[in-house]
Chain A
Amino acid sequence: MASVAHSAPETHTPDEVVQPLIAPGNSYKSITEKISNVILSGKTPMFWFFWFSLAFLFVNILGLSATVLLLIGTGIWGVTIPIGWGFAIINFVWWIGIGHAGTLISAVLLLLNQRWRTSINRFAETMTIFAVLCAGMFPLLHTGRPWLAAYWLMPYPSTMGVWPQFRSPLIWDVFAVSTYLTISAVFWIVGLIPDFAALRERATSRFGKVAYGMLAMGWRGSARHWHHYEIAYLLLAGLSTPLVVSVHSIVSLDFAVSVIPGWHTTIFPPYFVAGAIYAGFAMVLTLGIPMRKVWKLEDFITMRHIDCMAKVMLATGLFVAYGYSIEAFMGYYSANTYEGFMISNRMFGPYWWSYWSLIFFNVLIPQLLWFRSIRANIPALFGISMSINVGMWLERFVIVVTSLHRDFLPSAWGMYYPTRWDWGLFTGTLGFFLFMMLLFIRIAPIISITEVRALFFETKHGHRNKHGTEEAAA
């Protein structure tokens, strides 16, 4: 498919002709300038200052909530028996899910030769790194004393001779999430090297020249460098692709390996992975829509990109909806009393509001994406992506809380009430995420300059196959 698209212009869809991936009237020079001016122009929009201050406030709330937690203990949270896993795990799964669009856009779409990924991959990768950082905080804090938890989690030769339990999905999580963070960061940094070289040449201040010079590590765009670089980048993509699927599958095994009704289901791994991509794309749109407007990047993040992302959201949203219906169907079809009770309790028990809001935000509202006019309507898309962000958070709330609060023995039933510290940590990580994203926008190219240039070259010569420069040279 991919090679066909490269060699024959006739296979381009009408959409692609109408809405190019890079707005017309650009050149290598204008691409470089427009993207690097976000950093080097010296002008910072008021928008940035406003959100940066707000985010900074929430970073402080995060610091305060974490400090109080470490001083007093997890008793300040709403978690108790029967609900031993409250906001911490909900937020952990939610944030990891948001991180998934980054690797998906970067790696999976790279391997599938989807050229529309080019303008959004850097931005999505950045989102991945910071979202995984936010996610990682929760399980660490959930242990109450992270400095003691180290020897339960990481296999290092401590004097106590105690080792982690490798049969536990929680340990799989430690390996999956830390590998995911490391490999995403490596992928991101490798992608940034040539862009830092471009910034090095364009920076006007002495500090900028030195800083970007060090980050670029002496990159000089030599053909020999590109030769090894491209294969390394492709291999990293190849390694990240199964990684992204494995991470959320392993996260889902935290639940599925247990015997709690509502958790012990084989559909969890694919259903969680689809949900993660769904949440991730929603967050890319939530952040990308204001960003392209404020920094005038509409030339590179075109309506075609937005349309593609909306379609991915629609598809993954349907997978997720299928997951919900299978859960309901299994409650009925398995003829298992506890499964049946679990699903009716979800729908009509004390947490009925969370289940029905989930269906509303995550299943009903996104159906609007079927309409081409909605996919072309920026405010509507922003609203839908916000709705999905909320909906995916509710999904994790429903899975965690409604399954735990009424399990096998009615005498062990209870309710879960999050405290102000639960909310403080959650909103604090939201602030931290925004804070890091805003900082990144100011110091590194938010769109890959190198890849947009390569795409520009390719679109100029749409009729080429991969080695087609030979034809032109002859």
Chain B
Amino acid sequence: MAEFASADELVAAARRTREAGYRDVDAYSPFPVHGMDEALALPKSSVPLFVLLGALAGTALGFGLEYWVSVIEYPIMVGGKPFFSWPAFVPVAYETTILLGGLTAAISMLLINGLPMPYHPVFNVERFSQAMTDRFFLCIEATDPKFNREETKKFLEGFHPYQVSEVEE
């Protein structure tokens, strides 16, 4: 794992690491760095798809509930209005759409990221606590097919980072 002092160095290093053939690479930064997604060639996030499904489920559930309650289960005649007076059902169905869509956005983001995660090896690196303040880290994982303790270390040192350290399991 290499430590950098700026976001630009991190992105440059990430791109070159990727070009060098490493695949199990992750970068750590105190804020989202634009350009990182391309540098690491991350696949498109599936969060939007889940949100769409969640929102559609919200519409269906909200509208379905209203229809079932007002037409089937508990029909009340008020002022001669039809039981299925759908324009009046729009506001509630709209709110349930947003409710379920928003909840799926947050929950799917956490689940895809594997949070909450009480333990992760990167925290064993003492200086990693700086990743939450002003340092940028690039980590080549041992699971990478190209990983070789010595060579990888030399490769990372080639970027002239602030420091290269080993992550203990």
Contacts and interface: CB of A to CB of B under 8 A. Distances in A.
Given A186-B106, A226-B29, A201 B8 contact: no
Contact of A201 (B15, B36, B37, B132): B132
Given A183-B99, A197-B132, A250 B32 contact: no
Given A167-B88, A240-B102, A198 B27 contact: no
Contacts of A227: 32, 36-37, 42, 45
Interface string B40-53: 10100101100100
B102 A183 contact: yes
| Contact count band on B | 35 or more
Contact of A163 (B26, B69, B98, B112): B69
B142 interface: no
Contacts of B26: 222-224
Interface in A411-443: none
Interface string A163-184: 1111101011001100100110
A298 interface: no
B28 interface: yes
A29 B28 contact: no
Contacts of B78: 165, 167
Given A172-B92, A227-B45, A469-B34, A222 B74 contact: no
A246 interface: yes
B102 A466 contact: no
Contacts of B110: 217
Contact of A32 (B15, B128, B133): B133
B148 interface: no
Contacts of A193: 115
A242 B123 CA distance: 40
A45 to B, nearest CB: 25
Nearest to A167: B88
A473 B88 contact: no
A182 B103 contact: yes
Contacts of A253: 91
Interface stretch (A230-238, A301-309, A341-349): A230-238
Contacts of A179: 95-96, 98-99
Given A231-B45, A232-B108, A469-B35, A201 B102 contact: no
B116 interface: yes
A166 B95 CA distance: 13
Nearest to B43: A227
Contact of B98 (A172, A197, A243, A470): A243
A200 interface: yes
B131 A176 contact: no
A467 B88 contact: no
Given A232-B108, A236-B106, A467 B69 contact: no
Interface in A329-345: none
Interface of B: 7-8, 11-12, 14-15, 26-40, 42, 45, 47-48, 51, 55, 62, 65-66, 69-70, 73-74, 76, 78, 81, 85, 88-89, 91-92, 94-96, 98-99, 101-103, 105-106, 108-110, 112-113, 115-120, 122-123, 128-134
Interface of A: 27-29, 32, 155, 161-167, 169, 171-172, 175-176, 179, 182-183, 186-187, 189-190, 193-194, 197-198, 200-202, 217-232, 235-236, 239-240, 242-243, 246, 250, 253, 450-451, 453-454, 457, 464, 466-470, 472-473
29 contacts: A155-B65, A161-B73, A172-B92, A182-B99, A182-B102, A183-B103, A186-B102, A194-B31, A197-B132, A198-B132, A202-B132, A218-B119, A220-B128, A222-B26, A223-B37, A227-B42, A228-B45, A229-B113, A231-B47, A235-B51, A239-B102, A243-B95, A253-B91, A450-B31, A453-B31, A457-B7, A457-B33, A469-B33, A470-B11
